[in-house]
Structure 1
Amino acid sequence: MNKTYCPSLTEYKRRVARVVNIGGVPMGGDYPIRVQSMTTVDTMDTLGSVEQTLRMVAAGCEYVRITAPSIKEAQNLLEIKKELRARGCNVPLIADIHFTPNAAELAARIVEKVRVNPGNYADKKKFEEIDYTDASYAAEVERIRERFRPLVKICKQYGTAMRIGTNHGSLSDRILSRYGDTPLGMVESALEFLRLCEEENYYDVVLSMKASNTQVMVQAYRLLVQKLDEEGLQPYPLHLGVTEAGEAEDGRIKSAVGIGTLLEDGLGDTVRVSLTEAPEAEAPVARMLIDRYLGRAATAQPIRPLVGPEPINPFQYLRRHTHEVLNFGALNVPRVIADISRLPQLEYGDLRAAGHLYSPFLDKFQMSDLGADYIYTGERPVPFMLPNGLKEIVNYTAWIDAGRRPDHFPLMTADRYMADPRRSGLPEHHPQLNFLMLGLAALDAPLLARLRDDRTVVLVLVTTNTHAMPELRRAFFELLNAGVNCPVAICRAYGPQPAAQTQLDAATDIGGLLIDGLGDGIVLGTELLPEASQEEWQAQLSGLNQLSFGILQAARTRMSKTEYISCPSCGRTLFDLQETTALIRQRTDHLKGIKIGIMGCIVNGPGEMADADYGYVGVGKGKIALYRGQDVIKKAVPEERAVDELIDLMREDGKWIEKEVVGEPVGV
């Protein structure tokens, strides 16, 4: 199978897409990667929509999307547009359409772009498995094409652009019956519509493959690019987004894992970050993701090109095969290593920087799902007993000086690792676990040969390259092609910069590798000014520890906390999403690994919460439907009782546990 999906795996080269002009703001080609978002005000509230649009533009939005679920909202887009133009705002408007072709056809005469979802647009979507014969499948495709053709003709006549936006959670029964709930199904759903556009010589099209599962989302975009090339279709621009990413830190991390992974490979022409927050909060996050690539090609260090075929399948998740070293690799979850070597002092309470909270009330450490598996202390081993399960890494010299303690594990350089102990007079390595820190340049033939036979080593892979993720990926390819199966912890350190930027950078650099099954651990480091206090170091390191777990969760490689698949709200939303999400989080955030979908309307649920264990979906003013997976269990539950009944549903399934109340830990 042809695995080509990006211009280069080792250089930063942006994919050259066809230019699509959207209201005088073109995307694709050499134009900048554009920022967009979507209003949350009811579309029938003309002034409210206008005021919010102006705030979004001020925050950096270059396109603004507005929902048009029916004819009346589509008609009111004209009033919104008139008022915006009267106020001197010429931002291109995009109508968001799901189930109503008539609304799309009207909106296409008014706004600069329409978005249609192939899974909802005149297709059947009842969440039932239906067996189609080739003849019945083809007949259904032709029926949909005839329903879609008028919109294409209108867009062509009026110069209106179109986004064909496939969502993982809203594939039709027909697509599901043939392709399953897969990236290939997502791609084929869009291509059916796209082929008709090309038959009509209509090319002002943008494509998207959005999902709340970052692995599925990345695979689908890659496969889309490969299929466009394979079929000889136009290189259409790509709209990047992780749908229902959530809120706050989790939403930003998840967005960066999905969007950043694709941006690293030069894919993407416009970005929408979907947060359960005010839409004007989304644009700055998108801008931070995009701006990282300004000048990337000029500042990146050359990476030696790959010789031979790519040793992984970029369209399917498969974790790299490794042997087990203590609790690293094989079937173990990726491990978190907290670098606390820079803390000015090390006492019991200081381990909170690694997620281990000491309670003086109980005189013991509390169990924590966000407690690091290892701490790195450098030249200063901790002077006290560690909590049960926590292990310590020290520099090789400190390991020697401390008498080669069996509960300490040494960190070595490549030179130290390759040194012959018989000639150097130094002792052998730890009999169970040794850490070896190196970069791509150190992976020469003699070292690779030794690593093939060493069952005690875990690599700590580092880079200082601006083009970090591709260089780290290139090192993994070297290991794969050399048949080296030792586990690898990915290490990234960032200079003094805002924590918000580090969140996005680390989620991109490491999350992009984890999505491809590369990585058995994570180490994040930082730099602070020399005069930084103990408290400042604590706060920074504690944030990095939480970030490590957040990246693993967003990449779907280690579930350590409750996951909220919450939509970013729009004019269709039937309740206060931010307030409701906060309430549900307050009651359920102790349920490790449970995924809860919180959807403002039936358009986004249950389809868009395809990965959720439970769903909370608005079905009317003050009315909520509760789901178990894709199945509705309770309908029209009064909103004031809905959270309690959601918890009752979990209790029935044996998945509810009560929150534990313990003494307050030190430093909190």
Structure 2
Amino acid sequence: MNKTYCPSLTEYKRRLSREVQLGDLPMGGLNPIRVQSMTTVDTMDTLGSVEQTLRMVEAGCEYVRITAPSVKEAQNLLEIKKELRKRGCNVPLIADIHFTPNAAELAARIVEKVRVNPGNYADKKKFDIIEYTDATYAAEVERIRERFRPLVQICKQYGTAMRIGTNHGSLSDRILSRYGDTPLGMVESALEFLRLCEEENYYNVVLSMKASNTQVMVQAYRLLVQKLDAEGLQPYPLHLGVTEAGEAEDGRIKSAVGIGTLLEDGLGDTVRVSLTEAPEAEAPVAKALIDRYTNRAAEAKPITPLAADFAAVVVNNAAIGQSETAAVAENDANLSPIDPFQYHRRATREVLNIGGQNVPRVMADLSRLPGLEYADLRAVGHLYSAFLDKFQMNDLGADYVYSGQRPIPFMLPNGLKEVVDFSAWVDGGQRPDHFPVFTQVEFATAEVRHPELNFVFHNLASLTEEALSQLHADATAVVILYTDNAHAMPEIRRAFFRLINKQITNPVIINRQYPVLTPEQTQLYAATDVGGLLLDGLGDGVVLSTELLLERSKEEWLQTLDQLNQLSFGILQAARTRMSKTEYISCPSCGRTLFDLQETTAMIRKRTDHLKGVKIGIMGCIVNGPGEMADADYGYVGVGKGKIALYRGQEVIKKSVPEEQAVDQLIDLMREDGKWIEPVVLEEPVIG
């Protein structure tokens, strides 16, 4: 199988795409990765749209997208553009089109770029299961091509760029009938339109593969690049985004997991972070993700190429032969021991409750926290009640705590396990309720180990043949894998590849330690580094830490520990590997939105955020309706002013519910399904 989807899995190399012109600000090619966002004001509100666009540009937005659901909104784009140019703002404008070819054809004469969704543009989306023969399928494709061709010709005539933007949730019935609800279906949906563009000698095209599910999103972009190369199509630039990411911390984490994973491998020419917040809030997040790669190639340390393990791969995997050998010189992605287009968790042995079929574990680093007390464990999700003299664990309770050289001086709550340095374990009498962590040298020379569970620190360089043999021989060993390379995620991934190639099945905890960064930077960087590995099925747990200044107060330490603990669980949730809280698939709002998305999302969250693992879609209009919340359990969708439709999965259950009653009826629907749980009220306030 050809696994090539990026320039390199070990070096930072940005994919060289075709340059596409948008007004005076080109994208792709050797241009910087661009930032874009989308207005939320009604497109018919000319001055409101202009004022919001100016605020977005001030916040760092380089391209501004505006919805044009009908011809009248498309026409008003001209007025918006005139007013912006009058005010000295030359930002390229993008018209967002879904169902209306006439609006697209008009907008293409006005703005610098149009975005079309191939699942909606002249195609059928009724959530029907339709059987297509080859003949009827081909006839339907030809009908769509004829409807699409005039837009291509207008764009070519006016020098207008086009984004063919596939969304996971809006694949047509025709595509679903043949490819299913899959990354391949997303890619083929776009390629049908792209092939017509090339037939018309029109190449001013950008592509996107958006999904709310980060696994699907990453797999689709990778597969798109592989298919473009395989078919000999142009290397079109990529617009990256996780659609319906949500709000606040969860939205930022999910965006970083999806977008950051692709940026790490040099993919992406423009980025939009879709938050259920004011659009001005999106650009700084996108810029923070992008800026991490400005000097990445210069800052990165060399990573041992995959070819170094190739001889072992040939011996251990009979499926690899001469064709793959020839591919080594072309791209190291072909040597990857995993399938980059489909999720498979790395097979590991179970050690206590780590690895095997267990969910990934969260370890909290308490080794530098001064004067630890019962109440301090609240920072890692274990709440102590002095009145009841017992702990209560919430759904974000850490599984392990690392105390280093200072073992915790009191009994821990049930379910929480303590990890100490090997020397502290020996000095403390080798307590069976403490689990030692070794350096690689200590592990190799130690005369005694814990009979159930032993942790050992490793990086790529320390995974020598001797070290791998020691791991293979010890069924109690769990690796804590770290790196100090600026090109962190690819180096840790490379270490995983070595373990897989050598058939080492010990579980691995991913350890990332960051210098003094802002909480926002730590959030985005950790979500990228850890999330990118989890999406490929790599990792049985996570431990995050930061280099905090020693003069910080205990409360500041506790606040940071709380943030890191929540971040760890947030990353696992965003990567779909451990569901510990409610997931909200909420769109970022636009001019089509029929209610206040931010206020409504906050209200629904307040009532439902205790429902562990339940996924709720909150969509402002039917365009972003049942399709965009493709894998949600329940949906709350605007269908008119003050009117809401409630969904179970993709099936509408209640239509035109008055907005003031909709949340209560949504909860009633969950009760009917046995999914509703009353929120727990503590018997007395938790101390600390």
Work out whether the TM-score is over 0.5: yes
CA distance in 1, matches of 2:552, 2:378: 18
In the alignment, structure 1 residue 623 sits paired with structure 2 residue 643:
yes
Q: How far apart are residue 128 of structure 1 and its match?
A: 1.1
Residue 320 of structure 2 corresponds to none
Residue 507 of structure 1 corresponds to 527
CA distance in 2, matches of 1:343, 1:495: 17
Which digits, 9 at most, give the CA deviation of each residue in 1:207-232, with x for residues without a partner?
00000000000000000000000000
| Alignment counterpart, residue 652 of structure 1, candidates 652, 672, 675 | 672
Q: Is the 8 A contact 2:381 2:393 kept in 1?
A: no
Residue 469 of structure 1 corresponds to 489
In the alignment, structure 1 residue 608 sits paired with structure 2 residue 628:
yes
In the alignment, structure 1 residue 176 sits paired with structure 2 residue 182:
no
Q: How far apart are residue 352 of structure 1 and its match?
A: 1.4
Q: Match of 1:145, as an amino acid?
A: R
Q: Match of 1:476, as an amino acid?
A: F
Q: What are the within-5 Å matches in structure 2 for residues 250-649 of structure 1? A: 250-307=250-307, 308=310, 309-419=335-445, 421=446, 427-649=447-669
Which digits, 9 at most, give the CA deviation of each residue in 1:448-505, with x for residues without a partner?
1121221101100000000000000000000000000000000001111110000000
Which digits, 9 at most, give the CA deviation of each residue in 1:65-106, with x for residues without a partner?
000000000000000000000000000000000000000000
Residue 49 of structure 2 corresponds to 49
Q: Is the 8 A contact 2:187 2:209 kept in 1?
A: yes
Q: How far apart are residue 384 of structure 1 and its match?
A: 0.8
Q: How far apart are residue 136 of structure 1 and its match?
A: 0.4
SS at match of 2:623: coil
SS at match of 2:246: coil
CA distance in 1, matches of 2:259, 2:685: 38
Which digits, 9 at most, give the CA deviation of each residue in 1:311-331, with x for residues without a partner?
000000000000100000010
CA distance in 1, matches of 2:113, 2:473: 58
Which digits, 9 at most, give the CA deviation of each residue in 1:18-66, with x for residues without a partner?
0001011000111000000000000000000000000000000000000
CA distance in 1, matches of 2:268, 2:196: 23
Q: How far apart are residue 636 of structure 1 and its match?
A: 0.2
Q: What are the within-5 Å matches in structure 2 for residues 218-229 of structure 1? A: 218-229=218-229
Q: How far apart are residue 373 of structure 1 and its match?
A: 0.1
Q: TM-score, normalised by structure 1?
A: 0.99
Number of equivalences: 661
Q: How far apart are residue 410 of structure 1 and its match?
A: 0.1
CA distance in 2, matches of 1:358, 1:106: 63
Residue 9 of structure 1 corresponds to 9
CA distance in 2, matches of 1:304, 1:184: 32
Q: Is the 8 A contact 1:372 1:545 kept in 2?
A: yes
CA distance in 1, matches of 2:539, 2:48: 47
Q: Match of 1:587, as an amino acid?
A: R
SS at match of 2:622: coil
Which digits, 9 at most, give the CA deviation of each residue in 1:341-377, with x for residues without a partner?
1101111011112111112232211121000000000
SS at match of 2:143: helix
SS at match of 1:82: helix
Residue 147 of structure 2 corresponds to 147
Q: Match of 1:55, as an amino acid?
A: R
Which digits, 9 at most, give the CA deviation of each residue in 1:266-290, with x for residues without a partner?
0000000000000000000000000
Residue 90 of structure 1 corresponds to 90
Q: Is the 8 A contact 1:340 1:354 kept in 2?
A: no
SS at match of 2:419: strand
Larger displacement relative to structure 2 (477-486 or 301-310): 301-310
Q: Is the 8 A contact 1:361 1:664 kept in 2?
A: no
CA distance in 2, matches of 1:217, 1:366: 37
Residue 211 of structure 2 corresponds to 211
Q: How far apart are residue 610 of structure 1 and its match?
A: 0.3
Q: TM-score, normalised by structure 2?
A: 0.96
Residue 110 of structure 2 corresponds to 110
Residue 424 of structure 1 corresponds to none
SS at match of 2:512: strand
CA distance in 1, matches of 2:525, 2:167: 26
Q: Is the 8 A contact 1:340 1:353 kept in 2?
A: no
CA distance in 1, matches of 2:616, 2:6: 34
CA distance in 1, matches of 2:18, 2:107: 24
Q: How far apart are residue 611 of structure 1 and its match?
A: 1.2
Q: Is the 8 A contact 1:228 1:235 kept in 2?
A: yes
CA distance in 2, matches of 1:393, 1:444: 25
Q: Match of 1:554, as an amino acid?
A: A
CA distance in 2, matches of 1:121, 1:569: 20
**Percent of residue pairs bearing the same amino acid type:** 80
Q: Match of 1:45, as an amino acid?
A: D
In the alignment, structure 1 residue 160 sits paired with structure 2 residue 181:
no
CA distance in 2, matches of 1:166, 1:452: 44
Residue 186 of structure 2 corresponds to 186
Residue 24 of structure 1 corresponds to 24
CA distance in 2, matches of 1:646, 1:362: 36
In the alignment, structure 1 residue 79 sits paired with structure 2 residue 105:
no
Q: Match of 1:354, as an amino acid?
A: V
